[in-house]
Amino acid sequence: MKIIGHRGARGEAPENTLGGFQYIHDLGIRAVEFDVRQLKDDALIVMHDDNFLRTTAIDQKLYQLDSTQLEAYNQANIWMDWEKQVTPTLRQSLNIMHDFAHLEVEVKAVDTQVQAEKLIAELQQQLRGFEHTAIITSFDLKIHHALILQNTYFKHGLLIENDIGEKAIEQAIELQCCQIGWMNQLATDEIIKTTQKAGLAVSVWTVNDIERAKHLRNLRIDGLITDFPKMMQIALEQIK
């Protein structure tokens, strides 16, 4: 079971930032999850929300800006011991992740199929060289349809946050996914085993409880996505 840092290591470092990615790299962890959005100038950036309010305390909608206007927003605003962290581009982030063994690249939802296809075309270009380590994940079925349409050479995984049970497995197979990312609250022993029997890999998010992590490891899930990768790394290594 891989320990995968959620948005870098959002419980231990500013989320989705170069500093956060360097932090997890320095821990020796080589598996990470992060979020990708496309701005109006087509740049791909790494950010979870579509507004800067939660992470920077400035109420500014992301999609009103282009990539030249990000400098004013400090993604480490609530982290008193951290220097300023500007919203990174995907290319900047990948420079730190060049030797990572596993990247879960979550593409956030878009409004139209045209937007999905444009984003995926650019994403595949920027991820060249990471074909064996990156998996593109999304809740948005439009993103998966774009991956199929463009004959992607990247693996992709369906993210599930609604309690639709085995329908999720059927959807993932129809969408040519190799993995399901189950929300922790939905990841029962039964649904994990059923997913595995269907030949799909399993990741579970977001797991911050050590006893829960131990249980999931015993179920042989593939990836544990956590806000606290250092804590999990130490705890799970002690009970190997």
Dist CA 81 CA 77 (whole Å): 10
Contact of 219 with 3, CB cutoff 8 Å:
no
Look at residue 177 and tell me whether its pLDDT is greater than 90: yes
pLDDT of 240 > 90? The answer is: no
Residue range 146-157: mean pLDDT, rounded: 95
- Pairing type for strands 102-107 and 31-38 reads parallel
Q: What is the mean pLDDT of residues 230-235?
A: 94
Inform me whether the pLDDT recorded for 46 exceeds 70. yes
Q: What percent of the chain has pLDDT over 90?
A: 96
Position 66 pLDDT exceeds 70: yes
Only one residue has tokens 């349809």, namely: 145
Give the model's pLDDT for residue 204: 98
Could you read off the pLDDT of 91-122 as tens digits, one per residue? Answer: 999 999 999 999 999 999 999 999 999 999 99
What pLDDT does residue 144 have?
98
What does the pLDDT read at residue 237?
83
pLDDT value, residue 152: 86
DSSP 200: -
46 backbone dihedrals φ, ψ, rounded to 5°: -105, 110
Please give the full DSSP string across 161-198, using - where no structure is assigned: -S--TTHHHHHHHHTT-SEEEEEGGG--HHHHHHHHHT
pLDDT tens across 1-13, in order?
Answer: 999 999 999 999 9
Predicted confidence band of residue 239 (pLDDT cuts 50, 70, 90): low
Q: For the segment 82-91, what is each residue's pLDDT rounded down to a tens digit? A: 999 999 999 9
In the chain the first and final C-alpha atoms are separated, in Å, by 12
The domains found in the chain, sorted by start residue, are 2-238 (3.20.20.190)
pLDDT at 38: 98
- Model confidence at 238: pLDDT above 90: no
Nearest to 134 by CA among 98, 96, 170, 175: 98
